[in-house]
Structure 1
Amino acid sequence: MPLTRPAPVRRGAGASAGLDTVSRVCLLLTLVASAAVTWYTLGRPADRQRLTALTSGRGTPVPGLVLDLLGAGTSFVGRLVLTLAALVAVAVAGVLVARSVPSDAPVLAPAAPVAAGAVLIGAELRGSAVDAVLGVGCLALVLTELLATGQGRGRGGGVALGCAMTVQPALVLFVVLLWCTRARRRALIAIAVTVGLEAVAWAVRPGGTVQYWQHLADRVEYLGNQSALGVLSRLGLHGLPLLSAWLVVALAVGVLALRRGTAFAADGQRLLSAGLVGCAAVVVTPVALPADLGWLLLAATGRVGRRPEDRALWPIVAASAALLPSHAFNPGIEPVTGFLLLNAPALTLVVTAAVLPFRRRADPLWRRRRTAGPTPRHPWGRPYLPLLPARLRPVSRPNLLLELLLIQVGYGSYTRIRNAAPDRVAFAVEHARETYRLEQALHLDVERAVNTWALRHDWLMDAVQHYYKIMHFAVVLGVLAWLYVRHPPRYRTARTVLFATTGLALLGFWGLPLAPPRLTPGLGLWDGPENSPDSAPLGAFTALTNQYAAMPSLHIAWALWCALAVVTTTRSPWVRIPAVLYPMVTLLVVLAGANHWLLDAVGGVLVLAAGCLVQYLLTGRRLTDREGCPAEPGR
C-alpha cells in the first residue's frame, strides 16, 4: 500500500461549534469522578512511594524533574499537581475526540469524555495512579499533536509529541506517521524537543536515565505487562531468543500499523489512524500498563463487518479489553482461557494494529444502516413511548460472538456484584425468621413438609441436588440458543427481559439479605446428608458463594422466563407442556432442598414482571406477545 499525501480531512459534526450540551454534561461528570478517584488513589502508600521515587530522580527522568521543580515531593503538593494534570489530560482528550468523531456517528461525541475518564479511573484502580496520570497525559499530548495542531501549519507543531516521547519513547512511531503524511517539519521538531528535554534531564540528574532503563528491565516480567515483550517472556523466552522474537514482532507490527495508519489518515479517519499507531506503540514498548490501552478506544471508531449487526462487536471487544480485567469474561475453561485472557489486551492490540480489515469511507457498506424493527404499539397509548429510538429496536439476528461476549461479561459482572453484597449473617437470619413467621401467618409455610418428604428418599434428594445445580443454567442457555437459531425476532425480546430481570434482582440481594431455610438455625431444614448444592460442578461459571442472597429467587424467575419464552413462541404441545411443567418442578426442587422460601419464589415472579416492564417501556414489545416480528428486509 503506497504512502500517499492525505486528502483534506472532513471535520466531525460539532467541530467548529464546540461541544453540545450532552457532551458538556458528560465531560463535567467525568471530571468530577476523575478528580475524586485520582485524589483517593494517589493517597495509597504504594503511590506515595512511587511519587517519591519519581521526584527524587529514580526513573522517568523528565517527568520526575518537572514534578520536582513544581514541589511535588511532598505528599499533598504531589497529589494536587497530579490530580490537576489528570483533569487537564481527561478534558483535552475528551474534547479533541468529541470534536473529531465522524459526522455520521454523533452518538460518539458524548461518549468521548466518558471514555477518557474511564481509561484513567480503570488504570488507577488496577495499577499505579502515578503511571495512570502519566499514561493518559501522553495520550492527550499525542491527540493534541494530531487533532489540534493542524496539517503542518500550526505554530508549536511537534512540541506536544516531543513531550509525550520523553515519557514513552515508543511513541516515536507517531514521528514516522507525521513524516509519512508529509508533516516532516513537525516530526523533526518533535525529535528535537525529545532530545533536548532528555539532555537537560540527564545533565541535571545523570543517574536518572540509567535508573529509568533499569526500572523498565525489572518490570518486563510484571504479570500485567501487555506489551509484546511481556507476553513473550510469559511464554518462557529469555535472553537473546526473547530479544530476537520481540524485535521481529515489533518490526512487523510497527510497519503494518504505520502503513495502515497513513492510509486511514488519508481517508479522513484520523481517530482510527491514531488508534492503530498507538496500539503498535504499546506493542513495541518494553512495559505496557493499563492506561496505555486507551488507544484501543480510538481504534474502536473503525468499522468492521459486513452486516450492520456485526459492527457493534468490535467496539465492545475493544472497550472490554481496554477497561475490564480479564477475569470479568473468563468462562473458566482452563488452561486455555487462562493464558488467552491474561494476554487478551496484548493480542487485541496486535490484531488491531496489523490485521483487522477496517472499512474505508468509500466502501458501500460504510453507510449501510440497520433496519429498524416495527413498533407494534405505543405503551399505554403514550406517544413518547417506547423510550428507545427505532434504530435501537431491531428484530434481526444479532452477531453471535457479540451475544456470547455480552452474556459472559454480564453474568460475570452479576456474579461479582452478588458475591460483593455484604454477608450480613445476623440480619439475613433475622429476616429469614421474619419471613417464616409471615408465611405461618398466611398459612404458606410449606417448606418443612416438602423438605421432610424429600429427605425420606435418598435418591430423590440426590436428584434434587443435581437438578438444582445443573438445570438452572442448562435450560436457560438451551432456550437462548433455540430462540437465537430458530426465532431471531423473539430472541432479542427474551434476552433483554432476562438481562433486566437479573439486574433488578441485584437490588434485592443488596437491600434484603435473606438466609435460605437450610441456613436458618432452629428450623430443622437441611439440604441432604451429603453434597451441598453450593458446590459448583461447572467450575467458576456457577460458583455463587454468597449464601445469604435468597430474595428474590432467580431459579424461579429464570424458570418462569423459560416457560413464557417457549409457550409464546411455539404451538407444539410436545414442547409447551414440558415448558409449563418446568417452573413447577423447579419450585418443588428449591423447596425440597430448603434453598428458598415460598415467598422467595413470589419475589422471583415479581422481578420477572419488572423485567418484562422494562422491556415493554424500552421497545414496545412484550415477552408474551404471540405475533412474530418480521425479520429485517434485505439482510
Structure 2
Amino acid sequence: MPPTRPAPVRRGAVGSAALGAVTPVCLLLALTASAAVTWFTLGRPADRQRLDTLTAGRGTPVPGMALDLLGAGAATGGRLVLTLAALAAVAGISVLVARNRPSDAPVLVPAAAPAASAVLISAELRGSAVDAVLGLCCLALVLTDLLAGGRGRRRIPGGVPLGVAMTVQPALVLFAVLLWCTHSRRRALTAVAVTLGLDAIAWAARPAGTIRYWQHLADPAVVPVADLGDQSVLGALLRLGLHELPLLSAWLAAAIVVGVLALRRGAAFAADGQRLLAAGLVGCAAVVAAPVVQPAELGWLLLAATGRVGRRPEDRALWPIVAATAALLPSQALDPRIEPVTGYLLLNAPTLTAAAAAAVLPFRRRADPLWRVRRTPGPTPQHPLGRSYLPLLPAVLRPVSRPNLLLELLLIQVGYGIYTTIRNAAPDRVALSVEHAREIYRWEQAVHLDIEQTLNAWALQYDWLLDVMLDFYKLMHFTSVLSVLIWLYVRHPSRYRTGRTVLFATTGLALLGFWGLPLAPPRLTPGLGFRDSPVSSPDSAPLGALTSLTNQYAAMPSLHIAWAVWCTLVVVTTTRSPWARIPAVLYPVVTLFVVLTSANHWLLDAVGGALVLAVGCLVQYLLTGRRLTDRDRLAVTTPGPPPSATAEPEAEGTPQGGVATPPPPPGNPPPHGP
C-alpha cells in the first residue's frame, strides 16, 4: 500500500493561523488600555462636570436620559457605564473592521483593535472623555448598521443603531441618505423614525434641556474662535475671520458640495465591495457638515485610510499615514511654532484632510490593475553580527528606493513636533539641573578637561566673534541637517533611508537623556563665571525668542554634536569630492568649538552626543542590516532606476472586481508605476 502523502498546505494558511492567534491578544491589550485610560480620564474635574451637565439635561438629551434610567447619575456610576460603553465600542469596531477588511490586507486583522483603541485614547487625552466615548459609540453604531447586515440573523432591526447614532450626532443623517441611495430605503426610513421618536421622548421628558441643545447646534456663534480642539469646518472658517452671513454661507456651501460628492463616491465604492472606504468617506462628509467636531469623530479618517491612492509602492503609504496623523495627533503637533513656518493649513489639517478624503482623493477601484502593488525589497548582503534572526525588519520594509517626498516631509514635521513636545516636557527642574552641572564641572576639573571657562573668557574679549558664534549656533544646527537630507534624497536615494533612520533613532535616544538627566548649560550655572556676552548675567539666554520654545535645561546629550558628526559621516562615506569632504570634516570641529566657547554645552555633553549617535547607528544596523558608513555603494553604477512597483496579477488573470484584463503584449513588462 503506497504511503499517503500529506495534504499540501495552502500559501497563507500559516499566516492566517498566526494572525488568528495574534488577534485575541491585540484585542485584549486594546481593551485593557481603553479601560484604564477611560476610567482615569473620566475622573478628571472637567469630565465630572461634563457628566453632571449631561445627566442634568443641559447636554445631549438622549444619552443623559439613558444614564439617569440606569441610575448612573452619580460620578462613579457614570464612569462605570461610560467605561463599559467604550469597551463595547472598541470591541464592536474591531470585529466589524476585521470582517470587512480588503481581501489582500490581512494586516488589518490585528491592527483593527489597536486602531479603535488609539482613536478612543487619543480623543480622551485631547478633549473631553465623555464626548470621546459618545463619539466612538456613534461610530460603532453606524458600522453595526452598515457592515453587519448580511452576517447571520439580525437581532436588531436594520436602521435602529443608525437612528440612535443620528440622535446624538445629527450630521450622521448622511448615512441615512447613503442607505436610501443604495436601495436600502426601509432601513433609512427606520433610522429617521427612530431619531424622531427618541427626540420626541427627550422633548417630552426634558423640554428645556432639549431646546437648549438644538439652539446650541443651530447657533454657530457658540464655537470659540481660538478653540483649536474643535476641528469642524465652521471652526476653521471662524478662525479665518468670517462671521454671520458669510460664515453661514461658506459653511453650508462646503457641507452641501462635500456631502453630495461623498455620497456619490460612497455609493460607488460600496458597490465595488469597499464598504469600509464607503463608510469612511461619508463619515468624513459628516465631519465637514457638523457644527462642532470632537477628536473622536475623526476616527472616520482611519476607515477612509483603507482606500488606496498612488501608483508606486512608495506613494501608497502616504495616505494612510496622513489619515492616521490627522485623526490621532492634535493639530498643535503639526505646528513647528516657528513664525515663518506656522500656517493656517497646518492648524486645520484634520478638517482639510477629512474634506479631501470625502470629495477629492482618487481612490482606486478593485478592478484597477494597480489595486495591488508590490515593493521591491532592498538586498541584505549578510546578517548583522552573524545572527540569523537579524535584521529585525522584514525584507519588504527594507527598500532602498527613493521614498515619497510628501511622506518624508510629513515624517520630518511630525517627528520634529514630537521631539519639541517631549523635549519641552522634560523635567524643568532648575535646582537639580544646576547641581548636575556643578557635578559635571567638578568631574572635568578632576581629569583636567575643564576647557570651557578658558574658551569662554577668551571669546568674551571679542564681541563680534561671539555674535558670529551665536548666529552659527542658532542657524547651522537645523540648516546643515536639512541640507544633507535634501542632498541625499536628490543625489543618493539609495543611502537616504539609512541616513534618515540613523538621524531619527539618534534624536529619539537623546530625548531619554533630556528626560532622565536634566542638565544646565554653563551659561545657566551661576557662580562659575560663564557668560554669553560681556554685559550679560550668568542666567541669561542667548537665543532670543527661540529660547521660549525649548527647554534650556536639556543639555545632555548635545544634539548639536550628534547631528554635526552625522553630517560628516554621511558626506564622507557618500562622496569622494574634496570640496564636500573638507567642509564636512571641519563642521563638527567648528561646532564643538562654538558650543564650548559660547557656554552652551559642557565637553561631556559633546561626548554624550557622539555616544548617542553610535547607538543610533547600531539601531539602524540591527533593523535593516545596512550601515551608515558603508562604502560599497560608491562603486555601484546602474544603467537606470529599477522598477519600483509591479501590478500583481490575480488568479487566472481576472482581478477581484470580476472584469478580465487582457495580458500585456509579448516583450512588454506588466503595468507598473513610474
Match in the other structure for 1:219: 222
User: Could you give the per-residue CA deviations for residues 238-296 of structure 1, whole angstroms, max 9, x where no partner exists?
Assistant: 44443333322222111110110011111111111100000001111222111111101
User: Could you give the per-residue CA deviations for residues 344-402 of structure 1, whole angstroms, max 9, x where no partner exists?
Assistant: 21111111100010111111222111111111221011111100000000111111111
Deviates most, 480-489 or 119-128: 119-128
Q: Secondary structure at the match of 1:369?
A: strand
Match in the other structure for 1:124: 124
Contact 2:302 2:324 in 1 (8 A): yes
Deviates most, 373-382 or 13-22: 13-22
Contact 2:557 2:606 in 1 (8 A): yes
Match in the other structure for 2:181: 180
What is the letter of the counterpart of residue 135 of structure 1?
Answer: G
Match in the other structure for 2:167: 166
Identity of aligned residues (%): 76
Q: In 2, distance between residues paired with 1:46 and 1:517?
A: 42
1:503 correspondence with 2:508: yes
Deviates most, 330-339 or 62-71: 330-339
Match in the other structure for 2:559: 554
What is the letter of the counterpart of residue 103 of structure 1?
Answer: S
Deviates most, 270-279 or 45-54: 45-54
| 1:485–1:131 Cα change, 3 Å | same
Q: In 1, distance between residues paired with 2:66 and 2:548?
A: 49
| 1:467–1:235 Cα change, 3 Å | closer
| 1:221–1:424 Cα change, 3 Å | closer
Match in the other structure for 1:207: 208
Match in the other structure for 1:5: none
- The one of 311, 317, 323 equivalent to 1:318 is 323
| 1:277–1:436 Cα change, 3 Å | same
- The one of 280, 300, 305 equivalent to 1:300 is 305
Following TM superposition, by how much is the alpha carbon of 1:556 offset from its aligned partner in structure 2, in angstroms?
0.7
Following TM superposition, by how much is the alpha carbon of 1:50 offset from its aligned partner in structure 2, in angstroms?
1.8
- The one of 266, 284, 288 equivalent to 1:279 is 284
What is the letter of the counterpart of residue 98 of structure 1?
Answer: A
Following TM superposition, by how much is the alpha carbon of 1:421 offset from its aligned partner in structure 2, in angstroms?
0.8
Q: In 2, distance between residues paired with 1:623 and 1:25?
A: 36
What is the letter of the counterpart of residue 392 of structure 1?
Answer: L
Q: In 1, distance between residues paired with 2:238 and 2:415?
A: 32
Contact 1:226 1:283 in 2 (8 A): no
1:633 correspondence with 2:642: yes
Q: In 2, distance between residues paired with 1:335 and 1:411?
A: 16
Q: In 2, distance between residues paired with 1:109 and 1:554?
A: 40
Match in the other structure for 2:5: none
Write out aligned runs for 1:14-53 (5 A): 20-53=20-53
Match in the other structure for 2:666: none
Q: In 2, distance between residues paired with 1:171 and 1:13?
A: 39
Contact 1:178 1:187 in 2 (8 A): yes
Match in the other structure for 2:83: 83
Match in the other structure for 1:101: 101
Contact 1:432 1:515 in 2 (8 A): yes
Stretches of structure 2 that go unaligned for 5 or more consecutive residues are 1-11, 645-674
1:459 correspondence with 2:461: no
Following TM superposition, by how much is the alpha carbon of 1:71 offset from its aligned partner in structure 2, in angstroms?
1.2
| 1:544–1:246 Cα change, 3 Å | closer
1:228 correspondence with 2:233: yes
Following TM superposition, by how much is the alpha carbon of 1:149 offset from its aligned partner in structure 2, in angstroms?
2.4
Match in the other structure for 2:598: 593
1:266 correspondence with 2:271: yes
Contact 1:395 1:489 in 2 (8 A): yes
Contact 2:470 2:542 in 1 (8 A): no
User: Could you give the per-residue CA deviations for residues 217-236 of structure 1, whole angstroms, max 9, x where no partner exists?
Assistant: 26334633323333333334
Contact 1:19 1:98 in 2 (8 A): no
Deviates most, 67-76 or 155-164: 155-164
| 1:450–1:235 Cα change, 3 Å | closer
| 1:240–1:449 Cα change, 3 Å | closer
Contact 1:152 1:183 in 2 (8 A): no
Q: In 2, distance between residues paired with 1:237 and 1:511?
A: 46
Q: In 2, distance between residues paired with 1:380 and 1:28?
A: 36
1:356 correspondence with 2:361: yes
1:388 correspondence with 2:393: yes
Q: Under a length normalisation based on structure 1, what TM-score does the superposition of the two structures give?
A: 0.93
Q: In 1, distance between residues paired with 2:13 and 2:279?
A: 19
What is the letter of the counterpart of residue 642 of structure 2?
Answer: P
Q: In 1, distance between residues paired with 2:294 and 2:268?
A: 28
Match in the other structure for 1:148: 148
- The one of 404, 407, 415 equivalent to 1:410 is 415
Q: In 1, distance between residues paired with 2:214 and 2:152?
A: 33
Stretches of structure 1 that go unaligned for 5 or more consecutive residues are 1-11
Q: In 2, distance between residues paired with 1:535 and 1:72?
A: 56
The root-mean-square deviation of aligned C-alpha atoms, in Å, is 2.4
Write out aligned runs for 1:325-474 (5 A): 325-332=330-337, 334=339, 337-474=342-479
- The one of 240, 247, 255 equivalent to 1:250 is 255
What is the letter of the counterpart of residue 584 of structure 1?
Answer: V
Contact 1:13 1:101 in 2 (8 A): no
User: Could you give the per-residue CA deviations for residues 278-326 of structure 1, whole angstroms, max 9, x where no partner exists?
Assistant: 0001111222111111101110111111211011111111111111111
Following TM superposition, by how much is the alpha carbon of 1:179 offset from its aligned partner in structure 2, in angstroms?
2.0
Contact 1:468 1:533 in 2 (8 A): no
Following TM superposition, by how much is the alpha carbon of 1:150 offset from its aligned partner in structure 2, in angstroms?
2.2
User: Could you give the per-residue CA deviations for residues 168-193 of structure 1, whole angstroms, max 9, x where no partner exists?
Assistant: 11111111212222222222222222
Aligned residues: 622
1:190 correspondence with 2:195: no
| 1:329–1:13 Cα change, 3 Å | farther
Contact 2:231 2:293 in 1 (8 A): yes
Contact 1:94 1:113 in 2 (8 A): yes
User: Could you give the per-residue CA deviations for residues 91-132 of structure 1, whole angstroms, max 9, x where no partner exists?
Assistant: 211222133222322223222222212211222222221111
Q: In 2, distance between residues paired with 1:616 and 1:230?
A: 46
| 1:122–1:268 Cα change, 3 Å | same
Write out aligned runs for 1:435-584 (5 A): 435-529=440-534, 534=541, 536=543, 544-584=549-589
Q: In 1, distance between residues paired with 2:542 and 2:356?
A: 39
User: Could you give the per-residue CA deviations for residues 41-71 of structure 1, whole angstroms, max 9, x where no partner exists?
Assistant: 2222222222122112223221111111011
Deviates most, 30-39 or 232-241: 232-241
Match in the other structure for 2:662: none
| 1:587–1:240 Cα change, 3 Å | closer
Deviates most, 40-49 or 468-477: 40-49
| 1:233–1:584 Cα change, 3 Å | closer
What is the letter of the counterpart of residue 593 of structure 1?
Answer: S
Q: In 1, distance between residues paired with 2:543 and 2:600?
A: 15
Q: In 1, distance between residues paired with 2:596 and 2:341?
A: 38
Match in the other structure for 1:8: none
What is the letter of the counterpart of residue 103 of structure 2?
Answer: S
Q: In 1, distance between residues paired with 2:14 and 2:73?
A: 41
| 1:113–1:632 Cα change, 3 Å | farther
Contact 2:558 2:601 in 1 (8 A): yes
Following TM superposition, by how much is the alpha carbon of 1:205 offset from its aligned partner in structure 2, in angstroms?
2.2
| 1:261–1:185 Cα change, 3 Å | same
Contact 1:419 1:544 in 2 (8 A): yes
Match in the other structure for 2:4: none
User: Could you give the per-residue CA deviations for residues 505-534 of structure 1, whole angstroms, max 9, x where no partner exists?
Assistant: 111111112222222233222222368994
